[in-house]
Amino acid sequence: MTFSWPWALLSILIIPLILGIRWWALRRRRRAAVRVTSIALVRSALPGRTRWIRKIPPALFVTGLALLAVGAARPQASVPVPQTAATILLALDTSGSMCSTDVDPNRLTAAKKAATDFIESLEGGPRIGLVTFSGSAGLLVPPTDDTDALTEALDNLTVGRGTAIGQAMLASLDAIAEVDPSVAPTGASPDPGSGEGHAAAAIIVLTDGANTQGVDPQTAAQEAALRRVRVYPIGFGTTTPAPMVCENTQFDGRGFGGWGGGWGGGGGFDRGGRNIRMIDEPALKQIAQTTGGAYHRAENADELKTALEALPGSFSVVNRRVDTAAAFAAGGALFVVAALSLSLWWNRPRTPTR
């Protein structure tokens, strides 16, 4: 907790002053005490409360004054606040190996389902854009809050040859720059004084392999870091060889045989035509470390869904300082009023009993 006016905390010194005055008044009262001979008279004069109960009003009063003093100093607390103005670029690997059936029914279908659920869960929140990459990368949907446009684009994904992770990151940065003036496009030098901390934007890279062509991913990661944009790579799929099966809508019609053994990118196939592609986890972890993001591993659809669900809290919630002076002032006033009310009630004139 911080204070806008820390010097106002000096007002808390009024508490020991009041306690000192009260102590002096009680001591003076003892000196002015008179002797009486009637025990019955003494008992009738005593209040019908125990000693500790009589201390409740002073304790409430002192607590109220302390809260008012803290409130006068304008305390501020750091609290998590949803950042609806954030921008998320979802970069999906659409290389041929995404047709591997080690994830049921295949990796691409499972990724599309998880991405759709992720987008729908953030409806009304951050803007989301969609980039796809295989041998090259392209912006499929600019950052938008139109959930229908994003889900329709996901339904029409097709696989291609190669894997250009670095290029996908640069395409995502340019898409963010179009809607966020604080993020410079890749062809321009970022402004060193553009701000502190991270930008209100993030890139999620979902891939099942390694970069095979185009810009080196570490070069792209450094560009993202210079623009304060975090990258969250997700390595998807298993290391278990599995048949390659694409639905007609996921295939561009050129045929598996015409693409050869290297069309998946970043790995290869066994003699049975099964995918044995390996995820380049060291490279993906380095991307996350360079940009301030985090790497996630998902071997099945449930793990992928869990990884995506955990990400928004990393970049769409920020800590902001909130002035809590009003809360302290209200609490202090409540304690003071309670103290005065109890004191007046217990010291009200009483009708003598016969």
**Encoded tokens for 173:** 């940065």
**Encoded tokens for 202:** 């993030």
Q: Give percent of the chain above pLDDT 90.
A: 44
34-63 pLDDT, tens digit per residue, is 554 555 554 555 555 566 666 777 787 778
Q: What is the mean pLDDT of residues 193-202?
A: 74
pLDDT the model gives residue 315: 60
DSSP 95-152: BGGGGBTTSSS-HHHHHHHHHHHHHHHTTTSSEEEEEEESSSEEEEEEEES-HHHHHH
- Reported as a pLDDT band with limits 50, 70 and 90, residue 233 is very high
Residues of the chain with CATH 3.40.50.410: 84-315
pLDDT the model gives residue 277: 57
- Reported as a pLDDT band with limits 50, 70 and 90, residue 276 is low
- Reported as a pLDDT band with limits 50, 70 and 90, residue 66 is confident
Whether residue 176 is predicted with pLDDT greater than 90 in this model: the reply is yes
Asked if 236 and 207 touch (Cβ cutoff 8 Å), the reply is yes
Q: Which CATH class is domain 84-315?
A: alpha beta
The residues, any chain, with a CB within 8 Å of residue 118's CB and separated by 6 or more, are: 90, 305, 308, 309
pLDDT the model gives residue 55: 72
With the CA atoms of 165, 168, 173 and 176 taken in that order, what torsion angle do they form, in degrees rounded to the nearest 10?
Answer: -140
**Encoded tokens for 214:** 């185009």
pLDDT the model gives residue 259: 40
Residue (of 147, 158, 148) closest to 251 by Cα position: 158
pLDDT the model gives residue 309: 87
72-124 pLDDT, tens digit per residue, is 777 777 655 555 568 999 999 999 999 999 999 999 999 999 999 999 998 88
For residue 321, count other CB atoms closer than 10 A to its CB. Answer: 14
Name the CA radius of gyration of the chain, rounded.
Answer: 34
